[in-house]
Amino acid sequence: MHPFLTLDALRVLDAIDRKQSFAAAAEELFRVPSAISYTINKLEEDLGIALFDRSKRKAEFTQVGHLILQQGRAILKASDELAHMAKQAANGWELELRICIDSILHHHAIYDLINQFQNLYPWIDIRLSQENFGGTWDTLNTGESDLIIGASDEPFSHEIATHPIGQAEFIFAIAKDHPLNLAPQPLSQASIKQYPSIVAMDSSRHMPPRSAGLLDGQSRITVPDIHKKIDAQRQGLGVGYLPLHRIQGYLQSGELVSPTLEQSNARQHELCIAWRKDNKGKALTWFVTELKQMKLDRFFN
């Protein structure tokens, strides 16, 4: 039987949906609009079904068209993954390297590395994502990333290799006009518990979420990431521990203050990079080698 649903036809459907027009899809695929129309018309004729409702001013996917689009994307993804594996097996270079960095770290150090890498190997794509807490481990566990930067705690598997990048110091901080700033110091846990704790959400989707610095019975306000946590505490919405390297400027300006606590107001977290031992990709090896040689305090300064 003739394969009506070719990868090319599926890519055309995908481009039309993403670009919201035949003309824009043609531009993305470097074709003339008539070629896009011919591909769709031929596909509808071969299948004997309408993929687009043309009764309106702008053609829209029919219900069956949406079904083929969604299932077709799964086929395209599988095809891309197969090509990726074939390429990797053939010469050891990945088509794409996926790096996930924790939101606690500054990004400029990894940007510099990516720039160096692209100058050497411009044909390899880099996908950089950001997660919080266990979210970095989660992406490595599910195969969504090849390399994670800024992970804390121990690896969840003996199949994971790690390399330390240093300690992140967290200190208790509040806005300069927060009521606790007028309270007698050192602050007790009882006085701190009167106010909400600002919590950066653990972005794990498949692993148990974690949190740190919470007191029993303390209410919380959960925000998307460490950046929003800093903003929320600057606004006086609540209290909590913040990474010292991210708030030095606010402490110097007086916008944030770090009051004395009955218990220590400083905590240390060991951070590392991590990757799967069985991943022998050359791009991954390049980044791991460079990260090991880098002055890793650049992620903190």
Identify which has the larger pLDDT, 90 or 132: 132
Residue 40 has pLDDT above 60, yes or no: yes
Residue 1 has pLDDT above 70, yes or no: no
pLDDT band at 222 (very low <50, low <70, confident <90, very high): very high
pLDDT of 87 reads 67
Mean pLDDT of 45-64: 87
Q: How far is residue 91 from each of residues 84, 86, 114, 280, 283, measured CA to CA in Å?
A: 11, 9, 21, 11, 11
Residue 297 has pLDDT above 80, yes or no: no
Give the three-state DSSP class for 268. strand
**Helix or strand (DSSP H, E) at 65:** helix 63-91
Contact (CB, 8 A) for 207 and 214: no
Q: 96-145: per-residue pLDDT in tens?
A: 999 999 999 988 889 999 999 999 988 888 999 999 988 999 999 999 99
Q: Determine the longest span between alpha carbons in the chain, in angstroms.
A: 83
pLDDT band at 54 (very low <50, low <70, confident <90, very high): confident
pLDDT of 224 reads 92
Q: 5-17: per-residue pLDDT in tens?
A: 888 888 989 998 9
pLDDT band at 218 (very low <50, low <70, confident <90, very high): confident
What is the identity of the amino acid at 258? S
pLDDT of 88 reads 61
Pull the structure tokens for residue 104: 């606690």
**Helix or strand (DSSP H, E) at 246:** helix 244-253
Phi, psi at 112, each rounded to 5°: -65, -40
Return the DSSP state at 182: G
Cβ neighbours of 8 (radius 10 Å): 10
pLDDT of 89 reads 60
Residue 153 has pLDDT above 80, yes or no: no
Identify which has the larger pLDDT, 92 or 31: 31
Any bridge partners for residue 164, and if so which? 272
Return the DSSP state at 138: H
